[in-house]
Structure formats: C-alpha cells, structure tokens
C-alpha cells in the first residue's frame, strides 16, 4: 500500500536579473523563485489494485510519480510504502517512463537485463530471468534486435519487462501507452491487466485518457488546475469491459470534472 499525506511539490527556478550601467548591461547572480506544481495531496493506493491519476497537462501528475519513485524530493508531506517512510529509491519499485526510456545502443536482451546489471547480479541470473520474461512477453525471438527495429507495442512490452526483471511489487507508469495507436493501445491495456495478476502487482498509472482510466482502474484520482494541480476527487470504479453498458456513464462522470 502507498499512502501520501499532505504531499506538496514545488520547483525552484532561477530568475536572472540584468543591470544596465554606462559600460553596458551586466548580469547578476540569479535569484530563485518557487513555482508550485502540486498542492497538498493525500491519497491511499491499495495493494494489488490499479490506481490511476488523471488530469490535464501541467497539473503535476509526472511530478507525483517521480516523488513516489524516490526520484524527486517533495517540498512537504509524507510518502509511506507498506508502512515505511519513503527514503530515496526503493528496490521493489519499478518505473516505466512516458517514452519508455529504452537504450537504443543496447539489444532487447541487454535492455531487459540492465536493472540487474546495475544491481551487480551475476550473468547467469540475469540471463535466466531475462529469458523467462522475454518468453512471457513474446519477445524471445527478438532478443538480439535493437529497439529501433521494434514496433511501438513491442517497445512498450520491453519497457514493462525491464521494469519487472527486478521482481517489484509496485509498478509506477507515466502515460505508458500514449505513443501507441488505438489498436496497439487496447492490446497493451489488456496485457497490463494480465501481468498485474500474474506478477501480483500494485500499479499506479498516469494517463490523459478518460476511457483508459475507466477500463483499467479500481480507483481514479482526479487532479484539476495547474501550478498547482489540486486533487479534486477520488472515484472507486467497478471492473467493466469496453462493451459494458456502464462504461459510457462512468466515462461521462469523469469527463464532467474537466468540463468536457
């Protein structure tokens, strides 16, 4: 379980001042000013569930994911994971960034094994785990290829495989399907639901898509506004299929928060 208590995020940005004198303009050292990204945010992301955070661009969604991942220090508030205060990067947390973050100079196999190599795992262990995941994700025959040879959907599965090779219990996803076409996106969503069960994951997912939030989520957190974004609502959803008669109604309920 991930618990956030009054979590707020501000960014300090430089403001450089120019001063004119008879010999010409000169610069003085920059002064910092604070830009609020996320207003105090309190939430509970349940173990074994998919929780989605939805909101407009610039509302602080990505900053929230980075803070939970330990990549960004919040300005105030508290993050607890399984009852323990967040202290930097957590071993059992996997992260998938918006554009996958694959290394173009490394093969599919090497990309998957990268987290274990950083952890200094032995080569035999790295190879055994990567072979199992690549087989599960339908990428085994492509293990010698480089990312530019893969389709968008395959790159997405590769990014998930890399995140799972260290056997995390928490998976953070920042708009992981935004670059996929409609059909590939639906396939990726179904794939995510299947691996969530097989790997017993807790998932926190960022998205702009109302339909994606309704289809995937057990709980949706709605953020509105920007600088700072503010938590507007928490909505618990029943599990529905795309053809479920309740789907349009649930999507409409979310859409109302954005005046659409």
- Overall average pLDDT of the 27-35 stretch: 71
> Residue 100 corresponds to which tokens in the numbers above?
């996958």
Question: Which pLDDT tens digit goes with each residue over 97-118?
Answer: 877 888 999 999 999 999 899 8
Do residues 174 and 97 make contact, with C-beta atoms less than 8 angstroms apart? Answer: yes
| Mean pLDDT (the chain, rounded) | 88
Q: How confident is residue 28, by pLDDT bands cut at 50, 70 and 90?
A: low
- Mean pLDDT throughout 22-50? 80
Please give the pLDDT value at position 27. 57
Give Cβ neighbours of residue 89 (< 8 Å, ≥ 6 apart).
69, 70, 71
Largest CA distance in the chain: 74
Q: Is there a contact between 132 and 124 (Cβ–Cβ < 8 Å)?
A: no
For residue 99, the model assigns a pLDDT of: 77
pLDDT of the residue at 13: 79
- Return the DSSP state at 158: H
The share of the chain scoring above pLDDT 90, in percent, equals: 56
Q: What pTM value is reported for the model?
A: 0.87
Q: Of 145-154, 178-187, 214-223, where does mean pLDDT reach its minimum?
A: 178-187
The helix (H) or strand (E) run that includes residue 134 is helix 123-136
Q: ∠ CA(158), CA(160), CA(161), 5° rounding?
A: 65
**pLDDT winner (highest mean) among 24-28, 74-78, 243-247:** 74-78
Q: What would the two tokens of residue 1 be?
A: 């379980």
> Highest-confidence range of 8-12, 75-79, 195-199, 235-239, by mean pLDDT?
75-79
Residue 210, pLDDT > 70, answer yes
Q: What are phi and psi of 165, to 5 degrees?
A: -65, -25
The three-point CA angle 191-193-197 to 5° equals 115
Residue 7 scores a pLDDT above 90: yes
Cβ neighbours for 210, distance < 8 A, ≥ 6 positions apart? 54, 251, 254, 255
Q: Residue 235's CB: how many other CB atoms inside 10 A?
A: 17
Query: Would you state the pLDDT for residue 20?
Result: 55
Q: Is the pLDDT of residue 23 over 70?
A: no
Query: H or E element: which one contains 114?
Result: helix 108-118
196-214 core/surface letters (b: 16 or more CB in 10 A; e: else): beebebbbbbbbebbbbbb
CA dist., res. 227 & res. 223, Å (int): 11
Bridge partners of 45, per DSSP, are: 2
What 3 state SS string does 185-204 have?
HHHHHHHHHHHHHHCCCEEE
């Amino acid at each position: 379980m991930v618990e956030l208590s009054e979590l707020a995020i501000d960014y300090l940005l430089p403001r450089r001042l120019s001063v004119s004198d008879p010999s010409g303009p000169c610069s003085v050292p920059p002064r910092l000013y604070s830009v609020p990204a996320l207003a105090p945010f309190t939430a509970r992301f349940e173990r074994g569930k998919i929780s989605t955070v939805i909101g407009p661009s610039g509302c602080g969604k990505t900053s929230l994911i980075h803070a939970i991942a330990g990549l960004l220090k919040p300005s105030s508030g508290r993050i607890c994971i399984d009852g323990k205060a967040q202290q930097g990067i957590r071993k059992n947390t996997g992260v998938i960034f918006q554009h996958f973050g694959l290394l173009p100079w490394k093969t599919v196999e090497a990309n998957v094994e990268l987290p274990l190599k950083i952890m200094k795992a032995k080569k035999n262990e790295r190879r055994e785990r990567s072979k199992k995941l690549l087989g599960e994700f339908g990428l085994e025959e492509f293990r010698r290829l480089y990312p530019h040879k893969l389709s968008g959907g395959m790159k997405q599965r590769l990014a998930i495989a890399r995140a799972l090779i260290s056997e995390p219990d928490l998976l953070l996803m920042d708009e992981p399907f935004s670059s996929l076409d409609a059909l590939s996106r639906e396939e990726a969503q179904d794939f995510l639901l299947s691996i969530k069960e097989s790997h017993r994951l807790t998932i926190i997912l960022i998205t702009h898509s109302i339909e994606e939030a309704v289809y995937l989520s057990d709980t949706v957190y709605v953020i509105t506004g920007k600088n700072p974004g503010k938590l507007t609502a928490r909505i618990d959803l029943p599990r529905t299929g795309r053809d479920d008669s309740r789907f349009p109604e649930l999507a409409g309920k979310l859409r109302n928060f954005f005046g659409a």
